[in-house]
Amino acid sequence: MSEFETFFWVILAGATVGLVFDLYRSFRRWQDFGQILTFIGDVIFSLISIVILFCFFERANALDFRFYIIWGSLLGLGLYLKIFSNFTLRACFGFYRLISFLAKLIHRSIKIPIRGLVIIMRPPYAILHWLSLLLYRIGEVILLKRARRIKRRLTDWWKGLLPPRTNG
């Protein structure tokens, strides 16, 4: 592989890391990460960057580590950040706005039939609620008297089994 091709792959490695950085940075800003999620995201970004650099450096010169690889990657990163970063960030935020709009649209389209179902089911639910309370009260009147009578009989029977109490 010629020196130009090697240098091209090294610059492309830096630009790719810059692209991934912009994607991560815009997503983090859009989701408003806290400190813990930012730390975890930074670690994941670092691991992804290492994998990207490894793949490109392997393609460039079979992982023969030279000083120009670092300078080329930094040059590619700097060129990307100066030339393409603003466009990428605007495109990402536009995509996120589109995703938010579609999510709200889907949420509304699901919410409308559910509201209609709630309105339709309100009268039958009210009738069933009233009927269940009526049956509960009827059962309470019928069964509660019998349950109290049975409890009284059991306590009288139990007291009859025990010898009478005397003071002394």
Q: What is the pTM of this model?
A: 0.63
For 60-112, write each residue's pLDDT tens digit. 877 777 788 888 888 999 999 999 999 999 999 999 999 999 999 999 999 98
CA 22 – CA 15 distance, rounded (Å)? 10
Residues 6+ apart with CB under 8 A from 19: 80, 84, 88
Alpha helices in 34-84 (DSSP H): 35-61, 67-83
Which amino acid belongs to residue 164? P
Mean pLDDT of all residues belonging to the chain? 89
Judged against a pLDDT cut of 80, whether residue 21 lies above it is answered with yes
When pLDDT is cut at 50, 70 and 90, the band that residue 129 belongs to is very high
